[in-house]
Amino acid sequence: MGVAEILSFHDLKRTSCREGILEVMLVSKQALSENVIREQLNGHFDRTTFYRSFKTLEAKRIIHKVVIDNLPVKYALGNTLNPKKMHAHFFCKDCNSVECLNNTPIPTYPLPDGYTYSDTEVIIKGSCAKCNQ
């Protein structure tokens, strides 16, 4: 699915900033920090426009946060057709890369009566294929 289709599917206007953010993330194929995304856009957008666009994409669940220990927060493209589908993430301890494992479903866990869950996060830590070579 391309950038235009992603924005259309989520009933968002196509703006150059939203398109730029999504292009950077589609090309990367791994989670990136806000600063890295801004750097990739070469300062084409002022700070306010960038953050407003960024937060809109997050609110629509097109992108999602990945928080690992005390490292800077990274963001990844979600499953844009099914943003509520949860998936695991892989964190490489060698190169600090983070990848969505969209084909690795998260199991559901039985909770005691009266408990409800809002999110489940699974982060698998190890060495990625590139670092294992």
| Closest of 68, 85, 41, 69 to residue 77, by C-alpha | 85
Going along the chain from its start, the domains and CATH numbers come out as 3-126 (1.10.10.10)
Residue positions forming the annotated binding site for Zn(2+): 92, 95, 128, 131
Model-level pTM? Answer: 0.80
Residue positions forming the annotated binding site: 92, 95, 128, 131
Distance CA 122, CA 124 (A): 6
Question: Over the stretch 84-110, which tens digit does the pLDDT of each residue have?
Answer: 567 889 999 999 999 988 888 788 889
- Kindly tell me the number of DSSP H helices and DSSP E strands found in the chain: 4, 5
Non-local (6+) Cβ contacts of 126 within 8 A are 90, 91, 92, 93
Question: Over the stretch 13-60, which tens digit does the pLDDT of each residue have?
Answer: 999 999 999 999 999 888 999 999 999 999 889 999 999 999 999 999
Distance CA 60, CA 107 (A): 24
Where do the H-state alpha helices sit in the chain? 3-9, 16-28, 34-40, 47-59
